[in-house]
Chains A and B, each alone.
Chain A
Amino acid sequence: MKPQDLKFTKEHEWISRDGTVGISDHAQHELGDVVFVELPKVGVEKAQGSELGVLESVKSVSSVYSPVSGSVAKINDKLVQTPELVNKDPYGEGWIAQLKISDMQQLAALMTYDQYQAFVGK
């Protein structure tokens, strides 16, 4: 996915129009080598800002928050065996989960790629 087509949160998640969620390239870089991903369960309802998953890097642990409200439609099972995909391809194969978005207005209110780049000081 092209990051220019995505929306971003202040907690460094991205979300596409079809509800796919991941973390930004900036976030994966800050986190360092990801060694474990705790994924949500399919079917679970997530409120905007609630914990969607957990990423463990060698050095630290950090939560992934749901950029919008919705139910978990799909999870990226590949991350169980190959968590390093989050580092290698944060906007592609390193996606974390897909949400069925319940309120498209929440999506619209998130930052564009340019706004996010400015937010992280790039």
Chain B
Amino acid sequence: MPQKTPLYDLHLDNGGRMVEFAGWLMPVQFKGIIEEHNAVRENAGIFDIGHMGQIEVFDKDALQRLVTNDISLLAEWMGQYSFICNEDGTVLDDLIIYRLPDRFLVISNAVNAQNVFEKIKNADPNAAILYETRTAIALQGPLTLERFQKFVKADLKKLKHRQIIPVKINGSFDAVASRSGYSGEDGIELFFDKKAAADLWRQLLLESFEPCGLGSRDTLRIEAALPLYGHEIDAKTTPIDAGFDRFVRFEKGDFSGKEALLEQKKMGASKKLVGFELSGRAVPRQGYDIYSDGKKIGYVTSGTFSPTLKRSIGMGYLFAGTDETAGSPKVAIRDNYFDISFVKLPFYRRPKI
């Protein structure tokens, strides 16, 4: 049986179209993917992210030996992006790790939450996964801070990227709030008691936050070139393949996958993550092949019609040694070949204010 977040019934009442995702029944859309996407780029939207794993870890040294980034560089009340790798260097999951005064809060993908938790629990028997008691909502978009400020006393504008703070929402219940997200926009992610979820969601709707589903979460993250487990990263891909070397801190000491990753760093990656645009409106999708002059040079990991750029975009891997400036690259979509041009990632970067 798929699991339900505490907002499940409310999503049904609000016209959410529910689909099964990573063992959870989640809304893929409410009004429509493009409308929700645009609401986040232009105003503000809310996402139910109660399916994501929240894992509490207490043993700092144990966690340090599991993840690729260096948590000793992490100040209290700050978060960092990291990988947790298998011994062969492939990605078990990508994580956000927050440092709280007495523990770490590790946020993992829903699909990997149990595997990540088991690996952590083996190293820190006190670690706990919080699905029974906690949930999360992401508020994303340029008007997020302005619209959410009235709920909390702390000055949200002063929060740094990936800073997390304890807040009392409406003076009534405790949460931790971080300035973070997965849309390429400014935003806040709230981690809090499940029992408060439905009330808070309703109040956010009253403040004109657009309810958004997994569909727009995907189109937003593709435009921002944020990787998704099962697409750009998976158990066949290392952080080096994906070009995320900066989140792998070899100098920090031993960690899971270090030897394999060091070896790969010396030998070079087997593939390279790239972004491309299509000449037509057809949509490149995961698993489609990329060709140049009749030869297969790579494959697509994610693609969509970009609501912001109004053209089709994709990410994918090119095999090592491919010269992407040579030949005329194409992506095969059904029986047709569409011209593509490689572009610098991300496709979309939010305007600086």
Interface residues of A (CB under 8 A from B): 32-33, 35-36, 38, 54, 56-59, 61, 80, 83
Contacts and interface: CB of A to CB of B under 8 A. Distances in A.
B32 interface: yes
Contact of B305 (A35, A54, A80): A35
Chain B at the A interface: SS class: mixed
Interface in B306-321: 307, 312
B282 A56 contact: yes
16 contacts: A32-B33, A32-B215, A36-B282, A36-B305, A38-B282, A38-B334, A56-B282, A56-B305, A57-B33, A58-B215, A58-B304, A58-B307, A59-B28, A59-B215, A80-B281, A83-B281
B33 A58 contact: yes
Closest 4 CB pairs of A and B: A35-B305, A36-B281, A58-B33, A56-B283
B223 to A, nearest CB: 12
Contacts of B183: none
B34 interface: yes
Interface string B22-41: 00000011001110000000
A47 to B, nearest CB: 18
B219 interface: yes
Nearest to A83: B281
A61 B28 CA distance: 15
Interface in B192-239: 215, 218-219
B99 interface: no
B26 to A, nearest CB: 13
Interface string B51-88: 00000000000000000000000000000000000000
A75 B82 CA distance: 51
A59 B33 CA distance: 8
B32 A32 contact: yes
Contacts of A80: 281
Contacts of A59: 28, 33, 215, 218
Nearest to A60: B285
A35 B312 CA distance: 9
A58 to B, nearest CB: 4
B334 A58 contact: no
Given A33-B34, A38-B334, A58 B219 contact: yes
Nearest to B305: A35
Contacts of A54: 334
Contacts of A58: 33-34, 215, 219, 283, 304-305, 307
Nearest to A58: B33
Contacts of A56: 281-283, 305
A4 to B, nearest CB: 26
B164 to A, nearest CB: 32
